[in-house]
A and B are shown apart, each in its own frame.
Chain A
Amino acid sequence: MVRKFSVKGLRSPSLLIDMILSDAKDDILIVETDGEEQIKDIENLLKKYNLKYEVEGNVVKIHVGEIKADKSINVVGATCPGPIMMVSDMLSKMKNGEILEIICGKNALTDLTEGLKGMGNEIISVEEKEDGTYRILVKKGEKKEEEKATVKIDELFIINTTGTGNAEKAYSTFMMADVALKMNLKPTIFLMMDGASLALKGECDKVKHPAFPKLGDLVRDILKKGVKVYVCELSAEFRGINEKNLEEGFEIAGAPTFLNYLSKPNVRPVWL
């Protein structure tokens, strides 16, 4: 069961949580707090009980016992868009509030967490298992209609479809990301179609224009600054790119991640 409550304004939220924990069994408690001081107080209590928890902004997620899922699905080995389609199909047959357990490989992890969130579901937990697969617990929800409002665009989604075959576009992909960072815009790069060739290990090091640094150096610099570089799973598959020959720091993702970025109101896509 997932229970949500707020401890805003309380001086010692740990007292209230201690009471709730006494009758909690196989639960996930989502606690909304005022900030750092309350989180510290809660953390001290949780450390005493040796409970697993996650802090996301002002929210603390406490895992009590093992959550029992209503249904379970294994999508290990399926290629994009297989996992999200199988999971969506399963979710459509479930009621709101029910919990689905998904076992997936690393390739589908980002797609499922991002894609399912975009569909209005809640990701309760993500755990890496010993065999290298992942266990995602998702609570079924519905996408709420959002009221129209003016939104400030603060993220750029840079999409490259030409790869190293077009050196100028390859350079501008990473240079634009660098400029965006300097302008306080959060850039994310998505490589698809021929753009996926940039993700092949050592490929970017082969591109060098006399006026600029080696493309490989530029890529490493961008990654160091924390920019996410996704590679379309389908395009990678077409070009024989897999986890083994993937450039370090790049991440394979698929259609759900791509569409989720495009559907965010604060994100501006840039096609190259």
Chain B
Amino acid sequence: MGQVITLVSLSVIFGAMLSGFATFRLTGMRLMPHFISLILAFLLTLASLIIPNSIVFYLAVIFQILSALTICPTICNILKTQFQNTGIYSAHLALMGMLLVLAIGNALGIR
């Protein structure tokens, strides 16, 4: 069960990377810390599926949570000043919301 959740997290991160890249291209280079955190979360989640090591697993969880948090300032700014463009960001935003819940599920040890 735990591995299934990790696998779902991995797929959500991969989807988020694709939708994030679309918005990243649109806004220039404004999502750097978020994008780096997302790539690291992807690599660590992938590694945690292959390597049975709790440090790698918890690092993956930390970066999954960080990825969801680092998008907050950008989204807040967009909601405040460019809300007519929010449709473009909605796919990425939905995946980030899912990732946060899955990361909490992983951290609580629902296995």
Bound together, the chains give a CA A206 to CA B30 distance in angstroms of 7
Bound together, the chains give a CA A165 to CA B81 distance in angstroms of 9
Chain B neighbourhood of A241, CB < 8 A: 81
Contact B26 A165 (CB under 8 A): yes
Which parts of A195-254 form the interface with B (CB within 8 Å)?
Answer: 196-197, 200, 203, 206-210, 215, 239-241
Chain A neighbourhood of B82, CB < 8 A: 162-165, 194, 197
Beta-carbon nearest neighbor of A199 in chain B: B81
Contact A167 B81 (CB under 8 A): no
Beta-carbon nearest neighbor of B23 in chain A: A165
Contact A164 B84 (CB under 8 A): no
Partner of B27, one of A166, A193, A240: A166
Chain B neighbourhood of A168, CB < 8 A: 26
Chain B neighbourhood of A165, CB < 8 A: 26-27, 78, 82, 85, 88
Residue in A164, A210, A215 whose Cβ sees the most chain B Cβ within 10 Å: A164
Interface residue total, chain B, C-beta cutoff 8 A: 13
Q: Is B52 an interface residue (CB 8 A)?
A: no
**B49 → A minimal CB distance (Å):** 34
Beta-carbon nearest neighbor of B30 in chain A: A206
Chain B neighbourhood of A239, CB < 8 A: 80-81
Residue in B80, B82, B85, B88 whose Cβ sees the most chain A Cβ within 10 Å: B82
Contact B81 A163 (CB under 8 A): yes
Partner of A200, one of B27, B81, B88: B81
B1-29 interface code vs A (CB 8 A; 1 in, 0 out): 00000000000000000000000001111
Beta-carbon nearest neighbor of A169 in chain B: B26
Contact B81 A203 (CB under 8 A): yes
B30-53 interface code vs A (CB 8 A; 1 in, 0 out): 100000000000000000000000
Which parts of A155-171 form the interface with B (CB within 8 Å)?
Answer: 162-168
Contact A193 B84 (CB under 8 A): yes
Bound together, the chains give a CA A206 to CA B82 distance in angstroms of 14
Chain A neighbourhood of B78, CB < 8 A: 165
Beta-carbon nearest neighbor of B88 in chain A: A165
Bound together, the chains give a CA A166 to CA B78 distance in angstroms of 11
Contact B29 A164 (CB under 8 A): no
**A210 → B minimal CB distance (Å):** 7
B65-109 interface code vs A (CB 8 A; 1 in, 0 out): 000000000000010111111001000000000000000000000
Partner of B29, one of A194, A196, A209: A209
Q: Which residues of A contact B (CB under 8 A)?
A: 162-168, 193-194, 196-197, 200, 203, 206-210, 215, 239-241
Q: A164-B30, A194-B82, A241-B81 are in contact. List 13 more A-B contacts (CB 8 A).
A: A165-B88, A166-B26, A167-B28, A194-B81, A194-B83, A194-B85, A197-B81, A197-B82, A203-B81, A206-B30, A207-B28, A209-B28, A210-B29
**A-B CB contact pairs (8 Å), 30 listed:** A162-B82, A162-B85, A163-B82, A163-B85, A164-B81, A164-B82, A165-B26, A165-B27, A165-B78, A165-B85, A166-B26, A167-B27, A167-B28, A193-B84, A194-B83, A194-B84, A194-B85, A196-B81, A197-B81, A197-B82, A206-B30, A207-B27, A208-B29, A209-B29, A210-B29, A215-B28, A239-B81, A240-B80, A240-B81, A241-B81
